[in-house]
Amino acid sequence: MGKVKFNSPLVEMEGDEMARVLWQWVRDQLVLPFVDVELKRFDLSIENRERTDDRVTLEAAQAARAHGVSLKCSTITPDRARQQEFGLSRLYPSPNGTVRNVLDGTIFREPVICPNVPRLVPHWSKPVVIARHAFGEQYRAKEIVVEGRGTVKLVFEPTDGGEAVTQTVHEFNGGGVALGLFNTDESIRGFARACLNFGLQRGYPVYFSHKGTVLKQYDGRFKDIFSEVFGEFADAYREAGLVYEPRLIDDMVAFSLKSSGGYLWACKNYDGDVQSDYMAQGYGSAGLMTSLLMSPDGRCIETETAHGTAVRHYRQYQRGEATSSNPLATIYAWSRALWHRARLDGTPDGMAFAETLERTCIDLVEAGTMTRDLASLMGARHPFVSAQVFVQRAAAELKSRLG
């Protein structure tokens, strides 16, 4: 069996803990034995981020932009406890935020539906795609701890020397905290255009969730720009029998629980982070959620594992115990990156390999080979396998199919 040849490189970003272990198993057993692809590797482990003062994250993001297709493993964003655990010199920002800010664009998270796996929300029979704006918000916020009495102000100083605009945020009589968020019209417009294009291509209605009743100017700006951009798509949506609607996020959450799926939910950055995790559990597992970031022009694509680093499973792994972490999200990060690389390069054999890899893994699950998270949905006595065994069986079946 000859390897499938890819003409251009992938930018690979390794992560932390059990997610990193799964990443290496998938790469070394399900990808590299079958494909010939150059990997531009970057180690985004928390230890290497400390060694490089986080320069490695920016370098990885710049490489992702230069080469067009990248994929990223889950990484640690340290809090105070993890700072102490790893002896970090500072609290490093989210690597996801750094990479996404360089690439800009929108993250599309979509569940993998295994027909035989019961869903926690049984009537979710069709996918819900969470479109998450990937710029600004909490991931580029400025925050301060207020130590005593004083005033926090929001100030805009025009570059052209015009009159500054100042608003008092709060007059503190004692300690507290303050936070500054921002976004740009250009990025919001790219977000809206990406969502509306995606909805049209997939035949999905699009809903943008906001809190415009409270953040009248901030969320109101998002709402206005979405409405403006939708003007470019209105005729095409009407012909396709599709709709676009802005909805209060409270109403959208209630609607999502009652619906059967089959729509795109456009969320602001942090809202999308939360809602995609909630959706993943509703469909069965965080291991069943795919994640794809696309730049506004569609040139740059980054696939990710949408779950965390699985620290509890990593502790078991360190003790030499078999773990049953679900590797499907990791497998799909690789398969979707390979598929897009092949699509951009015009190599159909690469696209076919990526599709075969995905089909092989879904067929295994449908045949009853699954990790603990999925087996528990089937019933208390349903057998399950370790993550390592699942990857090994998938590799054997893939070899047989490609033989």
Q: Which residues are annotated as a binding site for Mn(2+)?
A: 250, 273
DSSP state of 93: P
What are the angstrom distances between the C-alpha of 47 and each of 7, 51, 87, 312? 32, 6, 9, 19
Residues 74, 45 contacting (CB under 8 angstroms): no
Q: Which residues of 225-255 are buried (b: 16+ CB within 10 A; e: fewer)?
A: bbeebbeebeeebeeeebebebbebeebbee
Q: Which helix (H) or strand (E) holds 186?
A: helix 185-202
Residues 301, 68 contacting (CB under 8 angstroms): yes
Radius of gyration of the chain (CA): 22
Q: Which helix (H) or strand (E) holds 51?
A: helix 46-51
Token couple for 330 = 């990791």
In the annotated binding site for D-threo-isocitrate, the residues are: 77, 94-100, 109, 132
Q: CB count, 10 Å around CB of 198? A: 18
Q: Which residues of 342-351 are buried (b: 16+ CB within 10 A; e: fewer)?
A: bebbebeebb
3-state secondary structure of 247: strand
Q: Which of 283, 288, 284 is closest to 305 using CA atoms?
A: 288
Q: Which of 249, 254, 257, 167 is closest to 214 using CA atoms?
A: 249
Q: Which amino acid is at 4?
A: V
Is the CA virtual torsion 82, 88, 90, 96 positive or negative? negative
Q: Which helix (H) or strand (E) holds 240?
A: helix 218-240
Instruction: Please count the residues of the chain.
Output: 403
Token couple for 397 = 């079946």
In the annotated binding site, the residues are: 77, 94-100, 109, 132, 250, 273
What are the angstrom distances between the C-alpha of 94 and each of 57, 241, 316? 10, 40, 25
